[in-house]
Amino acid sequence: LTVGVVKETRPGERRVALVPKLVERLTKRGLQVVVEPGAGLRAQLADELYEEAGAHLGEARSSDIVLTVTPPAPADIERLKAGTVLIGFLNPLSNVDGVAAMKKAGIRAFAVESIPRISRAQAMDALSSQANVAGYRAVLLAAQRLPKFFPMLTTAAGTVPPAKALILGVGVAGLQALATAKRLGAQATGYDVRPEVAEQVRSVGAQWLDLGIEAAGEGGYARELTDEERAEQQRRLTEAITGFDVVITTALVPGRPAPKLVTAEAVRGMRPGSVIVDMAGETGGNCELTEPGQDTVAHDVTICSPLNLPAEMPVHASELYARNLTELIELIVDSEGRLALDFSDEIVAGACVAGADEEVN
């Protein structure tokens, strides 16, 4: 079997789906790795590094298993042969047409977003590995935009108090953002509608903001708030937010538009020079004034909405992602290098978003 690593075509994407240090793990399984020339360049991985690791350079899309970071464009789907096993972020909930095109082309597609978040699948959890990178990066972006120090400083020229950072939504990205803000010396506070998160917030040395609104949903995710709850949450947050220099928002509800947590009125109440980094821009944003993909200034508050933070740190983002994919490949390929798809396995069945009718979840 061949495993192809494509060069990403989405503008701004710098990650690559496999790194040289994992090539050997696949070749040891009897797989041949084919890398599209230049696939790793934007992640500082030259073609020669792949070749030295045992991969060949060539047309990756004609491989039996094709690895990608982002969903293929329609023209790229047409370049895949029927029967291809495609693995990557495929955005199945909103990329409905793309997934239908894959099915029509006879492709078996496995979306890493759909891998069930059970402990056995932790090493394959690409949502988590990339959210970790994004949470870290969001804090660096905030620190750069803030016209103040993050840490407390005591100097001969005076004492500077620490910046106050509020993280709204404490999943994987939010927890990393809290930890990073703490490491940079800010006073960090976390807020979520899942009460069990309070413990995790405290465990990284941050404070827990309790607004008295709970909305735990299924499978460890939050549920969408009712209109009443949302209005109450916005009112309470508008009050709480005035004391913070930095607000990082990460709140998501699977398959739904991002909940609006920060209203225009809340932004107006923030101190001049404050910074909001809205990590939910891709699904509309958590702040009413967010312009997805843009940096804007409103009421002297900078609102940043980066759309692909993991791509800004492609070296480690690619490395972690490649490990996630390698684990998944090892689940679907036997020790002799043959495809061994077991649809009674909830990971295989859960991840499959296009294929024969009986295979797709």
Judged by the rule CB under 6 A, the positions of this chain that interact with ligand NAD are: 117, 119, 122, 125, 127-128, 131, 168-174, 192-194, 220-222, 225, 250-254, 259, 261
The candidate with the shortest Cα–Cα distance to 179, out of 171, 188, 192, is 188
d(CA 168, CA 259): 11
Cβ–Cβ < 8 Å for 9, 41 = no
Smallest distance, Å, CB 125 to ligand NAD? 5
Specify whether 128 is catalytic: yes
Query: In the complex with ligand NAD, which residue's Cβ is closer, 261 or 351?
Result: 261
Residue 297's DSSP bridge partners are 302
State the catalytic residue, choosing from 128, 236, 268, 295: 128
Query: In the complex with ligand NAD, which residue's Cβ is closer, 95 or 250?
Result: 250
Specify whether 97 is catalytic: no
Whole-number Cα distances in Å, 210 to 133, 190, 224, 241: 26, 9, 18, 13
d(CA 66, CA 74): 15
What is the C-alpha end-to-end distance of the chain, expressed in Å? 25
Helix orientation angle between 314-332 and 126-145, rounded to the nearest 10 degrees:
170
Query: In the complex with ligand NAD, which residue's Cβ is closer, 72 or 174?
Result: 174
Query: In the complex with ligand NAD, which residue's Cβ is closer, 70 or 176?
Result: 176
Query: In the complex with ligand NAD, which residue's Cβ is closer, 169 or 310?
Result: 169
Specify whether 79 is catalytic: no
Query: In the complex with ligand NAD, which residue's Cβ is closer, 119 or 159?
Result: 119
The candidate with the shortest Cα–Cα distance to 138, out of 294, 304, 254, 317, is 304
Smallest distance, Å, CB 241 to ligand NAD? 13
Query: In the complex with ligand NAD, which residue's Cβ is closer, 198 or 339?
Result: 198
Between strands 153-155 and 32-35, the pairing is unpaired
State the catalytic residue, choosing from 94, 122, 203, 335: 122
Specify whether 221 is catalytic: yes
Helix orientation angle between 126-145 and 172-183, rounded to the nearest 10 degrees:
40
Between strands 301-304 and 295-298, the pairing is antiparallel
Smallest distance, Å, CB 214 to ligand NAD? 10
Smallest distance, Å, CB 167 to ligand NAD? 10
3-state helix, strand, coil in the chain (%, to 5): 35, 20, 45
Cβ–Cβ < 8 Å for 267, 299 = yes
Smallest distance, Å, CB 103 to ligand NAD? 26
Smallest distance, Å, CB 169 to ligand NAD? 3
Specify whether 108 is catalytic: no
Query: From the CB of residue 334, how many other CB atoms can be counted at a distance below 10 Å?
Result: 12
Report the residue number whose CB is nearest to ligand NAD: 171
Which tokens go with 108?
Answer: 């078996």
The candidate with the shortest Cα–Cα distance to 247, out of 298, 289, 287, is 287
Cβ–Cβ < 8 Å for 190, 219 = no
Smallest distance, Å, CB 196 to ligand NAD? 8
Which tokens go with 288?
Answer: 């009413």
Catalytic residue numbers? 117, 122, 125, 128, 221
